[in-house]
A and B are shown apart, each in its own frame.
Chain A
């Protein structure tokens, strides 16, 4: 069964601190895709990154970095030197294709509050 767990419901950090958002997934497929989305208070989810199951290279984009480890089924997201604008709910998602049908499962999200 496909499952995404974001164990951290809410995190509060002081501005400029680093913060890591955890994502653990379960899947039986060997080919799958992982995503992170950001949902600011305005409500509209914004795509941040996609990673396929064959590419375990970590990625850095500005203050954002992602650590994908198949051995632990984790795809964690780190924000360095957090800013107030980073305050949002962050969702991790797992996408699989089974029998030609795409199935996307989202985690329950982690609400990040960055305090000035």
Chain B
């Protein structure tokens, strides 16, 4: 069974541009989570989507947004890129649960903003 996939692997953008990151969950998983992993900061929760709806978001500005498609894949959009947005962006998927379901992670997209 295929795991969580993310594309692209690497993305280089210039400050002020927009970045779009994509994630395909494990088949049968309806929840998708996005995390930012900046150096030394661990994983910071960005967004949680389930059944096409945004269910929760972390403490990030509105220029971080996303959506979930009917096939449960997801996009993360980052507008007006800033240098500090450079990080590894991890996507995870899980079955719908009540906090008790483990998440399965993709390999991440390394975003570099110059």
Q: Chain A: residues with CB nearer than 8 A to chain B?
A: 6, 31-33, 35, 37, 42-47, 50, 52, 91, 93, 95-97, 101-109
Partner of B55, one of A33, A46, A101, A106: A101
Taking the nearest CB of chain A, how far is it from the CB of B8, in angstroms?
A: 14
Residues of A within 8 A of B106 (CB): 44
B42, B44, B88, B97 — which one has the most chain A CB atoms within 10 A of its CB? B42
Does any Cβ of A come within 8 Å of B1's Cβ?
A: no
Q: Are A97 and B42 CB-contacts (below 8 A) given A42-B107, A47-B104, A104-B103?
A: no
Measured in the bound complex, the distance between the Cα atoms of B104 and A102 in whole Å is 16
Pairwise interchain contact B43-A103, C-beta atoms closer than 8 A:
no
Residues of A within 8 A of B97 (CB): 102
Taking the nearest CB of chain A, how far is it from the CB of B49, in angstroms?
A: 12
Pairwise interchain contact B98-A97, C-beta atoms closer than 8 A:
yes
Measured in the bound complex, the distance between the Cα atoms of B56 and A46 in whole Å is 23
Report the interface size for chain B: residues with CB under 8 A from the other chain: 26
Taking the nearest CB of chain A, how far is it from the CB of B92, in angstroms?
A: 7
Interface residues of B in 65-114 (CB under 8 A from A): 88, 90, 92, 97-100, 102-108
Q: Chain B: residues with CB nearer than 8 A to chain A?
A: 3, 33, 35, 40-45, 48, 55-56, 88, 90, 92, 97-100, 102-108
Measured in the bound complex, the distance between the Cα atoms of B12 and A8 in whole Å is 32
Pairwise interchain contact B56-A107, C-beta atoms closer than 8 A:
no
Pairwise interchain contact A32-B99, C-beta atoms closer than 8 A:
yes
Residues of B within 8 A of A52 (CB): 100
Residues of A within 8 A of B107 (CB): 42-44
Pairwise interchain contact B99-A109, C-beta atoms closer than 8 A:
no
Which chain B residue has the least Cβ–Cβ distance from A50? B102
Which chain B residue has the least Cβ–Cβ distance from A37? B105
